[in-house]
Amino acid sequence: MKRQSLFLLCAGIGAGAVTLALSRRQPAPPANRIPARRDLSNTPQHSSGTVRAARRLNRAAGLLATSVLADSGVEHYRGSFKNRAMFTPLIVSGATLAISAHGTADMRPAAHRVRDVTYALAAVTGLVGTGFHFYNVGRKLGGFSWQNLFYGAPLGAPMAILLSGLIGFSSERLRESQPDEQQGPEIFDLPAGRMLAAVISVGLLGTTAEAALLHFRGAYHNPAMYLPVTLPPIGALLMAQVCVGTRTRHVAARNWMWLLVAMGFAGSGFHAYGISRNMGGFANWSQNILAGPPLPAPPSFSGLALAGLACIDLVREHPDA
């Protein structure tokens, strides 16, 4: 029974990821497309490019949520859900995934109450989860020792759902912002694109720190383990440039974000290989998925990078954003 539920969880996660990946390819309906740079009669002052960016952010938030759902599902299952609170990230990330799918499909240039609340909840969950994980590590014998950092609750993990929430929340703000001639879309009175760029830059650095810690635990036994600790910081730098830089096409940042999207998914492949190197290989998947490197963790880089791409588009279309 337990194995079955784990299998269902994995299958669900796979389906979620595929849906999201496919939705990337779906062309936007023509109604929205044709007047891309003109006002729609019933949505005064709103660029459909903004909606497109918002939807891409929904998608990115969704991918991050998928990663969290799968990762916390597996890890908290491994922890036998000792504490009821350990179900929270599953529920919240599941909901975040659902509303992100909804947001990705939604062309309307207005924020959605349920999505708003859910994203806010996700962000808060990330913060509270981080607090929980710090508490869990700190109270262990030896406190914040390497032993506890390696094997206690991963300090950085809940940040992913925080980032998902932040990105999704920004997406909603973007939809409802009313850019005028002088100003691009705003989030809390700040230029939306630049603020997002900052969030993504910091998010990439945080996620790198997490990968660095856990790959150090694995003693970088495979040279490929250096990739997620070298490529994303460069991406973070490029996003920082997007945040503060001048008006350009950000070609390098764009390409780099695509590289990170690919790296994230490739990371899951590498982790699958890592899992297969445990006793019994894939045939013993039900144990080895828990023992090996976390299969769903690397795509959180892809999620952030997708958000980065949306953000770059936004800045490109609204140079002041």
Partner 1 sequence: MAFDDPLDRPRAAGGRAPDVFRRGGWVPMREYRDSEPVDFVIVGTGAGAGTLACRLAEQGFSVVALDAGAYFRPLEDFASDESEQTKLYWTDDRIVDGDNPLQMGSNNSGKAVGGSTVHFAMVSLRFRPEWFKSRTLLGYGADWPIDWREMWHYYAEVEDALKISGPVTYPWGTKRPRYPYRAHPLNAAARVLAKGCEAMGISWTETPLATLSAPRGLAHPCVYRGFCVTGCSTNAKQSVLVTWLPRALASGAEVRDLAMVGRIDTGSDGLATGVHYHRAGQWRFQRARNVVVAGYAIETPRLLLNSANDQFPDGIANSSGLVGKNLMVQSNQAVWGTMEDEVRSYKGPPSLAITEHWNYDDDKDFFGGYAYMSQGPLPQLWANTQLGAHGLWGEQLMTAMKDYNHVAGLKIVGETMPQERNCVTLADEVDQYGLRIPRITFSLCDNDKKLIDHSLSFMGQALSAAGARNIWAQEDDTCHLNGTARMGDDPRRSVVDADCRSWDIPNLWICDGSVFPTVGGVNPSLTIQAIACRTADRIHQMARRGELERLPAARPRRVLTPSA
Residues in the site for partner 1, rule: CB under 8 A?
Answer: 141-142, 146-147, 150-151, 216-219, 221, 274, 277-279, 291
What is the nearest approach in angstroms of partner 1 to the Cβ of residue 303? 26
Backbone angles phi, psi at 58, to 5 degrees: -55, -45
What is the nearest approach in angstroms of partner 1 to the Cβ of residue 71? 19
Q: Smaller CB distance to partner 1: residue 8 or 291?
A: 291
DSSP string, 211-244: HHHHHHHTTT-SGGGGHHHHHHHHHHHHHHHHHH
**Which residues have C-beta within 8 Å of that of residue 263, sequence separation ≥ 6?**
227, 228, 231, 232, 298, 301, 302
Pair of tokens at residue 151: 């094997």
What is the nearest approach in angstroms of partner 1 to the Cβ of residue 50? 47
Q: Smaller CB distance to partner 1: residue 136 or 278?
A: 278
What is the nearest approach in angstroms of partner 1 to the Cβ of residue 211? 15
Q: Smaller CB distance to partner 1: residue 146 or 188?
A: 146
Residue type present at position 231: L
Q: Smaller CB distance to partner 1: residue 249 or 277?
A: 277
What is the nearest approach in angstroms of partner 1 to the Cβ of residue 70? 22
Q: Smaller CB distance to partner 1: residue 32 or 148?
A: 148
CA angle, 43 as apex, 37 and 44 as ends, to 5°? 75
Bridging pattern class, strands 186-187 and 190-191: antiparallel
